[in-house]
Amino acid sequence: MDSLKVAAGQFAASGDWRANLETCAGIVRAAEADGVDLLVLPEGVLARFVEDRERIREHAQPVDGPFVTGLADVTTGLGVTVVVGIHEPSTGDKPYNTLVVLRDGAVVQVYRKLHLYDAFSMAESDNVTAADVVPPLVDVRGFAVGLMTCYDVRFPELARLLATAGADVLVLPAAWVRGPLKEHHWRTLVTARALDNTAYVVASGECGARNIGQSLVVDPLGVPIAQAGEDPATITAHVTRERLDAARRRLPVLQNRRFTVDATPRPLLVP
């Protein structure tokens, strides 16, 4: 295909996975009706606990659990590919922060978050296990899609690894926490990863009292082509092969780069 219709859906997740499943299902059905090929939902929307974050340990569900299975069932017979974030039990006492890619009733790919949000006086690693595997690309109607999650966007080497593997589109489910300069960081980093790699970026940010929302789609030359505000919304845009190829001819950063990026994980440092 020469083009792909993409969407980023944002909402405020609650502590009730059944309610969040219904919200996600409604967004999926609306996206399908709108002809969307790729829908990106926010990070960790199985359940959200603002004050009591360790509860994600007891509320985490496996990929074959009722939340993912229920949402996969919604996609059965549809054309839309859905990316959604959950917390998934690990072999230890802390779950993974996991992205699941769904299409036509099946799980297509799984990515477990590499970079945990231990910054700005927060410590995601208190309740989440960091993974160490760069995810394979996902084919969506001929476009190669790379997976990242929220804090990953601050680490350009991951986006570069995905781009050099062939990614045309980078997706970024997030729950970007409010705070001084945080909105500026969000827009700057999402735009930078698009420009760094001459790739489209589809960033879906959870909204609500804790998080900024502000989902956006940025093209390979750093131009925002769709943006949301702070309220629940679904934004759409068209990814085109023509724009992607033209950007990479005009700005051949992937060809001009002088250094490789090694996918070998660096040992985690414990404070």
Segment holding 73, helix H or strand E: helix 66-75
150 noted as active-site residue? yes
Residues 24, 32, 124, 150: which is the catalytic one?
Answer: 150
Spatial separation of the C-alpha atoms in residues 148 and 170, rounded to whole Å: 7
Spatial separation of the C-alpha atoms in residues 114 and 121, rounded to whole Å: 19
Q: Going edge to edge, which strands form the sheet with 106-112?
A: 106-112, 96-103, 81-88, 38-40, 3-10, 233-240
113 noted as active-site residue? yes
Segment holding 171, helix H or strand E: strand 169-174
Nearest to 200 by CA among 151, 256, 247: 247
183 noted as active-site residue? no
Cβ count near 15 (within 10 Å): 15
Residues 32, 88, 113, 206: which is the catalytic one?
Answer: 113
Instruction: Tell the residue number behind the tokens 């996609």, with chain if given.
Output: 75
Looking from the CA of 214 toward its CB, the CA atoms found within 13 Å total: 17
Tokens standing for residue 11: 């909402």
Nearest to 141 by CA among 212, 61, 238: 238
DSSP structural state of residue 53: G
Residues 32, 43, 88, 124: which is the catalytic one?
Answer: 43
Q: Are 207 and 13 in contact (CB under 8 A)?
A: no
Which residues are the active-site residues?
A: 43, 113, 150
